[in-house]
Structure 1
C-alpha cells in the first residue's frame, strides 16, 4: 500500500475516517457533536463500520469483569 493510500482504509482519524474514535464511541465517551460525526461516518463507510463491529461488544464484555479481574497478577 502506498503512503497516500493510508487514509482510505479507515486505519486512523487523520482524514474522514473515525477508527481511532471507536473505543470512545462504544463507551459513550464522546462529546455529542463528535458522537454524531462518528455515527454519520459509520453509516457511510464500510471499513469503519467493520472496525466498529469488532469493538461494539466491548462495554457488555467489560461489564462482566469485577475489580479482581482488573488487577495485575502479583500487584498489591
Structure 2
C-alpha cells in the first residue's frame, strides 16, 4: 500500500489537516502500512477528531479476529 498523500485526498495528504485517513484505518490497525504511511496516519489521528472516532470503531478488530479459528471462518 502506498500513497497516503496521493490516495487519500486530492491536493493534500494525511499530513494535511484538510485530508482524512479513514480509507487507511483497516491497514493501520493491522500493521500493514509502510513505516512512512503509518507515521502519517498516526499524526493525522492525533489532530483529527473525525478520523480518531473512526479509528476507535476499528481499533479492536485485530483482537476480535484473533478469537476466531479456521473452522469459524468456513
Task: Report if TM-score (shorter chain) is over 0.5.
Answer: yes
> Structure 1: which 4+ aligned runs deviate by more than 6 Å?
none
Match of 1:33 among 12, 33, 36: 36
Aligned pairs, number = 60
Unpaired runs of 5+ residues, structure 2, are 1-6, 11-18
- State the TM-score, normalizing by the size of structure 2: 0.77
The secondary structure found in structure 2 opposite 1:17 is: coil
The secondary structure found in structure 2 opposite 1:44 is: coil
Q: Cα distance, 1:46 vs. partner?
A: 0.3
Aligned to 2:9: 14
- State the TM-score, normalizing by the size of structure 1: 0.75
CA distance in 2, matches of 1:27, 1:48: 16
Unpaired runs of 5+ residues, structure 1, are 1-11, 72-76
Deviations 1:23-44 (A, max 9, x none): 0000000000000000000000
CA RMSD of aligned residues (A): 1.4
